[in-house]
Chain A
Amino acid sequence: AQSVSQHNHHVILSEAASLELGCNYSYGGTVNLFWYVQYPGQHLQLLLKYFSGDPLVKGIKGFEAEFIKSKFSFNLRKPSVQWSDTAEYFCAVNAINGGSYIPTFGRGTSLIVHP
Chain B
Amino acid sequence: KAGVTQTPRYLIKTRGQQVTLSCSPISGHRSVSWYQQTPGQGLQFLFEYFSETQRNKGNFPGRFSGRQFSNSRSEMNVSTLELGDSALYLCASSLGQRGNEKLFFGSGTQLSVL
Contacts and interface: CB of A to CB of B under 8 A. Distances in A.
A106 interface: yes
Contact of A107 (B3, B41, B59, B103): B41
B99 A32 contact: yes
Contacts, number: 53
Contact of A106 (B42, B90, B107): B42
Interface stretch (A13-21, A38-46, A64-72, A75-83): A38-46
A33 B45 CA distance: 15
B29 to A, nearest CB: 14
Interface residues of A, number: 23
Given A43-B106, A94-B100, A101 B56 contact: yes
A90 B45 contact: no
22 contacts: A32-B99, A32-B100, A36-B105, A43-B106, A44-B90, A44-B105, A45-B104, A45-B105, A46-B103, A49-B102, A51-B100, A90-B42, A94-B99, A94-B100, A101-B99, A102-B56, A102-B58, A103-B45, A103-B48, A105-B45, A108-B42, A108-B43
Interface of B: 3-4, 33, 35, 41-45, 48, 55-56, 58-59, 90, 92, 99-100, 102-107
Interface of A: 1, 32, 34, 36, 43-46, 49, 51, 90, 92, 94, 96, 100-108
Given A43-B3, A43-B105, 19 more contacts: A1-B59, A32-B99, A43-B4, A44-B105, A46-B102, A49-B100, A90-B42, A92-B43, A94-B100, A101-B56, A102-B56, A103-B45, A103-B48, A104-B45, A105-B43, A105-B45, A107-B41, A107-B42, A108-B42
